[in-house]
Chain A
Amino acid sequence: MVQANDYSTKPRALPWELRRRGLKDSLRHDQRVKEAIRKNLRELIAEEAIITSDGTKRVRIPLRYLDQYRFKYGQPPQGVGQGQGQPGDTLGQRTGNGNNPGDGQPGDQPGEHTYEVEVPLEELAQMMLEDLALPWLEEKSERQVTTTSYRFTDIRRRGAFANLDKRRTLLENLKRNAAHGTPAVGHLRDEDLRFKVWDLHEEVHANAAVYMLMDVSGSMTTSKKYIAKSFYFWMVRFLQLKYRKVEMVFIAHDTEAQVVSEQDFFGISHGGGTRCSSAYQVALAHLEQHHQTERWNTYLFHFSDGDNLPDDNATCKALVETLLPHCRMVGYGEIRYRDDASFYGWIGQADAAASSLQYALQGITQPHFLSVTITHKEELWQVLQQFLQPRETAHV
């Protein structure tokens, strides 16, 4: 008794919309991976795997949101294996989360591990930053900068040998030989040669310069610097999405400041005290020399733990106010842990919400100045959001 719609014997009678579901569902799965990354952003933004993946184009990130939950045992699995060995012999080490021994999975249960996906860094940055906007972006249009670049646009018979188009040349040679009845490459003549010709290409775009200032005094611990590093990582990625050219200036300071390389910036650590004004001074000098206001959109950020010499605070405030007209934005981030009693903070105003530097800087009323406090690396996302939210254009 075969029913009219018996799909077991007549699979081809299937309705069209039910065919090839694997592709549809794997597209849906990809979509969910993206969603999961988006939901995960707050945690991912401080993920070490991403920040430290200098140079690699793709990053692997663990995704917890794609787990399919069920009641499962928490203890590491036992199993049955085969081969030589006495009870007590060590077979190997567990790897990863302990669910998979070296080669092969125990039993025939599907292994359950944290799902990891590989994403191009650029795509990830785009996703992370798509809700963010560059404050006061509009002003940029007044100071658009044109640059010229070279593009190969045409092919000619004469030109410099450096620009020889080998592929076309061989093709021409082959065509000419074929026309004479021998379809092969050989007997090159001048008339076969083809050259690439370039044109000047003008592009209108704006440039950005980021001044990254960081306190490297003794009280800035590695984990505090890691927060600053993560912040700068995303800030640079973000600016690169908005501007064609982003110049980065790294300024490290304790009581004195200097322009350093990126590598040194995150590597160095000094003992001793802190004089933040030194960094602002160096920044101001560098800015006036290299990044004039007319041509550059300059962003200046400073991270410190706020342990500034008390008598330096007023100087800092004055310098920031001098810097502000030159910059799109000046940001000050104070990295503070509640549990570390820092020297000056402890002596002076242990219970004050803001350290003296932040307190002094808060007196600045200019809207292009922002000051935030960060106490934990999970707050990084909020800090980025605070710095990078669309704002009304200030009246200049």
Chain B
Amino acid sequence: MFEARVAELEVLACDQGLDFFPVFFEVVPQDIMTEVAAYGLPTRARHWSYGKVYQHQHLYGAMGLSKIYEIVLNSDPGLAFLLDSNPEIANLLVTAHVFGHVDFFKNNLCFADTNRHMVNDAVAHALRIDAYIERYGLEAVEHLMDIGFALDRHIDPHTGLQRQPYPPRRIVEQEHRVLPYDDLMETPTRSVTYAVEGERFPPYPERDLLWFLITYAPLEGWQRDVLQIIREESSYFYPQFNTKILNEGWASYWHAELFHLYEGVAPDEMIEFARLHAGVVHPGGRFAVNPYYLGYSILVDIEKRWDQMHAAGETPLTGREKLFEVRRTEDDLSFLRNYLTPDLVKRLNLFAYGSHCTHPPGQQCTQCQHMVITSRVRDAVVEALLAPRYNYGVPRILIQEVTTNTLYLERLDRTTTYLDRQYATNTLTYMTELWKQPVHLLTSDERGQDTTLTARLASAVL
């Protein structure tokens, strides 16, 4: 019965133009669900930090505070987990929702280069890391993974997983074109000059800190492998981080749409469906907007506006066609900037909030403790939404140069932001452990003044 209805929904989804990989559904009990959610993948290299998340979610699940309805993985074929204790109608809704997600994974450009076999690869990773634990000890592997996780968002997802080292230092001949008035110069220029390439190291500021350390730090083979595993898995999750609002909005739009069209729903089930749908796209709290709701609202708004424009002959695209275009070409940053209109901000009653202090950041006053509505202007709201999503949610840090083996890092946006100093120092110490030489970070203090943090190997200090 359930399988038959899933098949009907699948046909319906294809008719509507959704284009997804075949999807395997796995119906599992609550604790398996919790486990997959904690790790992000069904099987993944072990690390104590997943245990922390697992414990937390397990407790919340047991107390009935949170319930995970669905987990869907970006893979080909698609893989989705449903909860065995859910009523059938809930799992049907989830199924329709999953078709939306898998269509998004397959067609959104952010996902074009993702590893569609990560579910399998992660198993291989887990086995490899288990072997390293066996060989080098849990503490050593765990600590290396701590370091890897500290840097796992400082990657460059656009350079590909298998990146080549920088070109080696070499001398290149450059032919000098003879210019019309060269003969007027006192010293005649040569027709051929020699330039040194690869003199600077790195040749340009490098943002993939993890790749740089894997490639150039004095590490053993297994250590490079562990870090590369972390880098690969982080790259796999990057597009999902970057499209959370759009992806969830898209999936929510489609479960609603498919259930409008689907005729195999009994009336009492429809009421339950409506209740569940309202739960999925509930607006969220006063301090946080539910991304499902935000994405869904924007998509519905786009469809309506383009349908109107299409009717008025202003655009060749119908609302639905426009939606498919958005689904293909946008990520959260462009999606919000392009389509969260002033009108919609007003309708959804959104505001940006924060401290309303005029003194430089880092100082304390009584006002600091107050959360204040800072703006209702559309641009401010959009930027406040995007700020935590920018650059994988981490500060932008570049490797500027290496001089006598010392690593010089520079943080961008120094005048407007500052780092948590204790965390930064500890992370730099981590980097030093890999690099084995001092690491400097040019950053700024709480008043926006440039300052340099330095980490040295503990043995070097003595």
Residues of chain B from 29 to 47 with CB closer than 8 A to chain A in the complex = 31, 34-35, 38-39, 42-44, 46-47
Given A28-B51, A72-B419, A105-B287, answer yes or no on A94-B371 (Cβ-Cβ < 8 Å). yes
- Tell me which residues across on chain B come within 8 A of A21, comparing CB atoms: 35, 39, 43-44, 46, 50, 126
Q: Which residues of A contact B418 (CB under 8 A)?
A: 73-75
**For the complex, is B304 an interface residue (Cβ under 8 Å from A)?**
no
A15 to B350, CA, bound (A): 49
Which of B34, B120, B423, B430 has a CB less than 8 Å from the CB of A7? B120
Closest to A25 in B: B51
User: With A and B bound together, what is the CA distance between A6 and B43 in angstroms?
Assistant: 12
Q: How far is the CB of A308 from chain B (nearest CB, A)?
A: 42
Q: A18 at the A/B interface (Cβ < 8 Å)?
A: yes
Cα A70 to Cα B424 in complex, Å, equals 7
User: Scoring B residues 2 to 46 as 1 if CB is less than 8 Å from chain A, else 0, what string do you get?
Assistant: 000000000000000000000010100001001100110011101
Contact B395 A71 (CB under 8 A): yes
Residue from B26, B31, B384, B427 in contact with A71 in the complex, judged by beta carbons closer than 8 Å: B427
Q: In the complex the two chains form, what is the Cα distance from A123 to B440 in whole Å? A: 42
Q: Of B173-181, B190-198, B362-370, which stretch is located at the interface? A: B362-370
B49 CB, min distance to chain A CBs, angstroms: 6
Contact A88 B373 (CB under 8 A): yes
Give complex CA distance A107, B287 in Å: 8
B419 / chain A contacts, CB cutoff of 8 Å: 71-74
- Could you tell me the distance in whole angstroms from the C-beta of A29 to the nearest C-beta in chain B? 4
CA distance A105 to B149 in the complex (A): 23
Any chain B CB within 8 A of the CB of A84?
yes
User: Does the CB pair A9–B420 fall under 8 Å?
Assistant: no
Interface presence of A32 (CB below 8 A):
yes
Q: Are A25 and B46 in contact (CB under 8 A)?
A: yes
How far is the CB of B375 from the nearest CB of chain A, in Å? 6
A74 to B287, CA, bound (A): 20
The stretch of A96-104, A236-244, A321-329 that contacts the partner chain: A96-104
CB distance from A361 to the nearest CB of B (A): 37
Decide: A70 and B38 in contact? CB cutoff 8 A.
no
Number of inter-chain CB pairs below 8 Å: 233
Q: Are B48 and A32 in contact (CB under 8 A)?
A: yes
- Kindly state the separation between the CA atoms of A73 and B34 in the bound complex, as whole angstroms: 30
**CA–CA, A67 and B49, complex, Å:** 10
A27-40, CB under 8 A of B: which get 1 and which 0? 11111100000000
B200-208, B253-261, B385-393 - the one binding chain A: B385-393
- In the complex, the chain A residue whose C-beta lies closest to that of B36 is A22
Q: Is there an interface contact between B127 and A70, defined as CB atoms closer than 8 Å?
A: no
Task: Chain A residues near B34: list those with CB within 8 A.
Answer: 22
**When the two chains form their complex, are residues A87 and B153 in contact, meaning their CB atoms are under 8 A apart?**
no
Residue contact B373 to A86, C-beta cutoff 8 Å: yes
Q: Contact between B350 and A108 (Cβ–Cβ < 8 Å)?
A: no
- Is A79 a contact of B150 with CB atoms below 8 Å? no
> Counting CB contacts under 8 A, is B169 at the interface?
no
In this assembly, does B283 line the interface, its C-beta being within 8 Å of a C-beta of chain A? yes
Contacts of A31 in B (CB 8 A): 48
B277 interface hit (Cβ, 8 Å)? no
User: Known: A86-B373, A107-B288. Is A74-B421 also a contact (CB below 8 A)?
Assistant: yes
Question: Which residues of chain B (402-436) have a CB below 8 Å from chain A?
Answer: 411, 417-421, 423-424, 426-427, 430
Find out whether the CB atom of B427 lies under 8 angstroms from the CB atom of A81: no
A19 to B375, CA, bound (A): 49
Among A18, A69, A105, which residue has its beta carbon within 8 angstroms of that of B123?
A18
* Chain B, residue nearest A64 (CB): B422
Tell me which residues across on chain B come within 8 A of A84, comparing CB atoms: 349
Q: For B286, what are the chain A residues with a Cβ–Cβ distance below 8 Å?
A: 81-83, 91, 103-104
B79 within 8 A of A: yes
Complex Cα–Cα for A5 and B154 (A): 32
Given the interface pairs A73-B419, A109-B393, the reply to whether A92 lies near B371 with Cβ below 8 Å is yes
Q: How far, in angstroms, from A192 to B47 measured CA to CA in the complex?
A: 59
Using CB atoms, name the residue of chain B closest to A69: B426
Identify A68's interface contact among B55, B77, B150, CB under 8 A: B150
A25 touches B352 (CB 8 A): no
List of A residues within 8 angstroms of B375 by Cβ: 87
Residues of chain B lying within 8 A (CB to CB) of residue A75:
361-362, 417-418
Decide: A91 and B42 in contact? CB cutoff 8 A.
no
B310 within 8 A of A: no
- B356 neighbours in A (Cβ, 8 Å): 88
Q: Are A73 and B79 in contact (CB under 8 A)?
A: no
- The distance in angstroms between the C-alpha atoms of A25 and B55, with both chains bound, is 9
Q: Which residues of the other chain, A, contact B49 by a CB distance below 8 angstroms?
A: 25, 29, 68
CA distance A106 to B388 in the complex (A): 10
Q: For the complex, give the distance between the alpha carbons of A121 and B52 in Å.
A: 22
User: Is B44 touching A73 in the complex (CB atoms < 8 A)?
Assistant: no
Interface centre among B26, B149, B354, B375 (most CB of A within 10 A): B354
A28 to B31, CA, bound (A): 18
Knowing A79-B287, A107-B288, the reply to whether A93 touches B149 (Cβ < 8 A) is: no
A350 at the binding interface (Cβ < 8 Å): no
CB of B291 closer than 8 Å to a CB of A: yes
Contact of B324 with A by CB under 8 A: no
A87 to B372, CA, bound (A): 7
Q: Is B351 in the interface zone, CB < 8 Å from A?
A: yes
Near A by CB (< 8 A), chain B positions 337-362 give: 348-356, 361-362
- Asked whether, in the complex, the Cβ of B373 is within 8 Å of the Cβ of A85, the reply is yes
Instruction: Name the contact of A104 in the complex, choosing from B285, B353, B372 (C-beta under 8 A).
Output: B285
A106 to B395, CA, bound (A): 18
Give the CA-CA distance A96 to B59 in the complex, in Å.
22
Q: Using CB atoms, name the residue of chain B closest to A105.
A: B288
- One digit per residue, 1 when the CB lies within 8 angstroms of any chain A CB and 0 when it does not, for chain B 144-185 equals 001001110110000000000000000000000000000000
Question: Assuming A8-B79, A26-B52, A104-B285, is B385 touching A80 (CB within 8 A)?
Answer: yes
Contacts of A105 in B (CB 8 A): 287-288
Contact B351 A5, beta carbon cutoff 8 Å: no
Q: Which residues of the other chain, B, contact A14 by a CB distance below 8 angstroms?
A: 43, 123
Query: Please, which residues of chain A bring their CB within 8 A of the CB of B54?
Result: 22-23, 25-26
Give 3 closest A-B pairs by Cβ, nearest first.
Answer: A25-B51, A29-B51, A26-B51
B→A interface (CB under 8 Å): 24, 26, 31, 34-35, 38-39, 42-44, 46-52, 54-55, 58, 73, 75, 77, 79, 117, 119-120, 123, 126-127, 130, 138, 146, 149-151, 153-154, 244, 283-289, 291, 348-356, 361-362, 368-376, 381, 384-385, 387-388, 393-395, 397, 411, 417-421, 423-424, 426-427, 430, 446
8 contacts between A and B (CB under 8 A): A9-B77, A18-B43, A20-B35, A22-B51, A66-B52, A80-B384, A98-B368, A108-B291
20 further A-B contacts with Cβ under 8 Å, apart from A71-B397, A77-B388, A89-B373, are A3-B120, A9-B24, A21-B50, A25-B47, A27-B51, A67-B426, A71-B154, A72-B419, A73-B418, A74-B361, A79-B287, A81-B373, A82-B348, A88-B372, A98-B369, A103-B286, A103-B287, A106-B287, A106-B288, A108-B244
